[in-house]
Structure 1
Amino acid sequence: MSSSTTPVADLAAAGTSVWLDDLSRDRITSGNLADLIAGSGVVGVTTNPAIFASAMSKGTAYDEQIAELKAAGADATEAVFTMAVDDVRNACGVFTDVYRDSAGVDGRVSIEVDPRLAENREETVAQAKSLRERVGAENVMIKIPATEVCLPAITEVLGAGISVNVTLIFSVARYRQVIDAFLAGIELAKANGHDLSTIHSVASFFVSRVDTEIDRRLDETGGNDALTLKGKAGVANARLAYEAFNDLLVTGSRWRELAAAGANVQRPLWASTSVKNPEYSDTLYVTELAGPHTVNTMPENTLEATLDHGVITGDTLTGTGEDAAEVFRALEGVDIDLDDVFRVLEREGVEKFVSSWTDLLDVIGARL
């Protein structure tokens, strides 16, 4: 099969960039990351605390640097960030050509602020600026969670001219707040005299976790009306988010003024795209969420499944808002409390990242 006819190439033709949701030192030094770029069409990387916890807790790739950090008297937090920053900087180097050829749209590598800061705006801003400086690569993106407390931090960091990946978005209501924070940030960057063409942003909308939580509640509810809705909420939620994206950014008057000044649109990014229920297609959150101005960040198993048997039928997002809204009306009709679903998912999302980060600090602390 020629590279021009792979499912990933078909996604790109539909407007969806494929990023890898994983990074490790072994992946960089072995040449695997470069191979994924050249052979699989991967054009970016996202990381999170769980990914670094997995990478740094296994194998021997970090042994030499841990020994150096131990000799220097580093504590666990500083050691973890030093190693993570080095990995992200090196990955940014691997993506230099992609970054250049896409005019900065792709070739991006994301690094997240300490998840324990999710309820601390000031420290989130300070660490975001520090991470950008420490990585020192134009194509880095700083991940900031979309908690209510951190929405102003997103604005402030963008206003400082720093590219931002807004993460842990579950509801369309919160996503609309993220778009507002993005617009305010780009307006602030303009007022601060930054070159808007150099600032990029994505909004990471989590997909599979929505199905996992709502399916659980549908099973508890029981009955045919409830059970026929299983596996539909995640895609519907993302499609409603895409409708909001089109309304507020693609055609929004506030956005058009910024676009005329050289700003880059904040793209929706579909995260948590590994299907958790084996009864569903393992490419469900790929084939059903393809469309203009989007990113799909995939763990390697989802990328491999997509390349092996994903069937991309072009744009599966545009014009789907009404059908998606009907799914949500049906969920409410069987007494699914959607507001509570999204509150639970955001809280658990932060808690899971904090737990992974704390476990990693414990592991590295013991080795130091």
Structure 2
Amino acid sequence: MSNTDRLAQLSQAGVSIWLDDLSRERLTSGNLAELIRDKHVVGVTTNPTIFAGALSNGEAYDEQVRELAERGADLHAAVRELTTTDVRNAADLFRDVYTATGGVDGRVSIEVDPGLARDTEKTVAEAQDLWKTVDRPNILVKIPATEQGLPAITRTLAEGISVNVTLIFSVERYRAVIEAFFAGLEQAKANGHDLKGIQSVASFFVSRVDSEVDKRLEAIGTDEALALRGEAAIANARLAYAAYEELFASERWAALKADGANPQRPLWASTGVKNPEYSDTRYVDELVVAGTVNTMPEKTLFAAADHAEVVGDKVSGTGARAQEVFDKLSAAGIDIADVFLTLENEGVEKFDKSWAELLDTVTGQLDKAKG
């Protein structure tokens, strides 16, 4: 089987393939266009870490940085212009995909400043500003699913803005995200927005769950604990999908759907495998189910193209078996609630650190351009 066929199989199984990366180099070299054409890539996600890496490597941004320096742009304005330029150009590149899929795919995500993750009001304001600044119908504004992010998600959707909810780790928090999504659409309708034009995905993080749980299982060290390594992340994602099926079978959703609403698709994020002992396509092969998104770093995308094993739906109807895994984890001594709290806090901190690195990088580039 050719590698294109493997990705075609994944796409035909109903999984939208998105690339978890964006840079000026990808755009100007034609690389992203090639991935759209040859690798069935139908969307892109970004985050502060991705932008920090892109802006610190190569010379692709030099010309725009010089222009910003000459205009006397301050640091935050410069970062905003550099990142939104990439997202706008990527959105234009995906416009044909967006049109062909009726607005479902062809999406490009951009995240609010992670330093605002615990501030509802500022998150809403920045989400609105990003939406207006990029000014493309096929972007998604990323909002972290912190407790303070939940009302921000509702209020942003209520303004007719499409949202990618990010940093979801627990099924409990995912249920709250879906509730926030429903409330946002209900308010959007009351505000006079056409629900057909609003899209949303819920980014459920996968590999980081195994990394954290495996570390704790190895610290416990019993045979029962060690036998559970590598089981938590897939089980967690499958429990999330069971929650999705349950809540999107509700009368509340039926009423929204009748008004033209699109479902909030589950998106499998953090699908790059961290443990070399596991198959590098593990979080692709085991999470195939129609109506979902898998956003992959390039390394995982190419691995999936080469040797993914797409054998049909591996998620529907697996909730009970997945719960058994979590029961065993609890019995082995894993504090599940603490795992998810740790992962959320680390996720916010990592993106905040990357944002600080991004600011430092742009500061240095602006100073160099001025000098």
If the TM-score is normalised by the length of the shorter chain, which range does it land in? Answer: over 0.9
Could you say which residue in structure 1 is the equivalent of 2:302? Answer: 304
Could you say which residue in structure 1 is the equivalent of 2:67? Answer: 68
Structure 1: stretches of 5+ with no match in the other structure: none
Could you say which residue in structure 2 is the equivalent of 1:206? Answer: 205
What CA distance in whole angstroms lies between the structure 2 residues aligned with 1:113 and 1:73?
24
What CA distance in whole angstroms lies between the structure 1 residues aligned with 2:127 and 2:319?
34
What CA distance in whole angstroms lies between the structure 2 residues aligned with 1:311 and 1:363?
40
What CA distance in whole angstroms lies between the structure 2 residues aligned with 1:205 and 1:194?
27
Q: Deviations over 1:251-308 (max 9, x none)?
A: 1111011001100000000000000000000000001001021000000000000000
Could you say which residue in structure 2 is the equivalent of 1:262? Answer: 260
Q: Is the 8 A contact 1:200 1:266 kept in 2?
A: yes
Q: Is the 8 A contact 1:111 1:143 kept in 2?
A: yes
Q: Is the 8 A contact 1:75 1:365 kept in 2?
A: no
**SS of aligned partner of 2:204:** strand
Paired residue type of 1:365: T
User: Structure 1 residue 2: deviation in Å?
Assistant: 6.5
Normalized against structure 1, the TM-score is what? Answer: 0.98
User: Structure 1 residue 12: deviation in Å?
Assistant: 1.7
Question: 2:288 is matched with which residue: 282, 287, 290?
Answer: 290
What CA distance in whole angstroms lies between the structure 1 residues aligned with 2:75 and 2:61?
13
**SS of aligned partner of 1:328:** helix
Could you say which residue in structure 2 is the equivalent of 1:106? Answer: 105
Backbone CA RMSD of aligned residues? 0.9
What CA distance in whole angstroms lies between the structure 2 residues aligned with 1:188 and 1:8?
38
Could you say which residue in structure 1 is the equivalent of 2:45? Answer: 46
User: Structure 1 residue 367: deviation in Å?
Assistant: 2.1
**SS of aligned partner of 2:51:** helix
- Pick which of 296-305 and 76-85 moved more: 76-85
Structure 2: stretches of 5+ with no match in the other structure: 367-371
Paired residue type of 1:331: L
Matches within 5 A, 1:35-184: 35-184=34-183
Question: 1:363 is matched with which residue: 357, 361, 364?
Answer: 361
Could you say which residue in structure 1 is the equivalent of 2:340? Answer: 342
What CA distance in whole angstroms lies between the structure 2 residues aligned with 1:40 and 1:197?
28
Paired residue type of 1:146: A
Identity %: 61
What CA distance in whole angstroms lies between the structure 1 residues aligned with 2:263 and 2:234?
22
Could you say which residue in structure 2 is the equivalent of 1:12? Answer: 11
Q: Does 1:324 align with 2:322?
A: yes
**SS of aligned partner of 2:136:** coil
**SS of aligned partner of 1:6:** helix
Q: Deviations over 1:213-241 (max 9, x none)?
A: 00000000001100010001000000000
Could you say which residue in structure 2 is the equivalent of 1:23? Answer: 22
What CA distance in whole angstroms lies between the structure 2 residues aligned with 1:356 and 1:24?
15
Question: 1:315 is matched with which residue: 313, 316, 334?
Answer: 313
Deviation >4 Å, runs of 4+: none
User: Structure 1 residue 366: deviation in Å?
Assistant: 2.0
Matches within 5 A, 1:238-257: 238-249=237-248, 251-257=249-255
What CA distance in whole angstroms lies between the structure 1 residues aligned with 2:334 and 2:5?
39
Q: Is the 8 A contact 1:236 1:324 kept in 2?
A: yes
Q: Deviations over 1:143-187 (max 9, x none)?
A: 000000110000000000000000000000000000000000000
Q: Does 1:222 align with 2:221?
A: yes
Q: Is the 8 A contact 2:2 2:306 kept in 1?
A: no
What CA distance in whole angstroms lies between the structure 2 residues aligned with 1:348 and 1:308?
32
User: Structure 1 residue 75: deviation in Å?
Assistant: 2.0
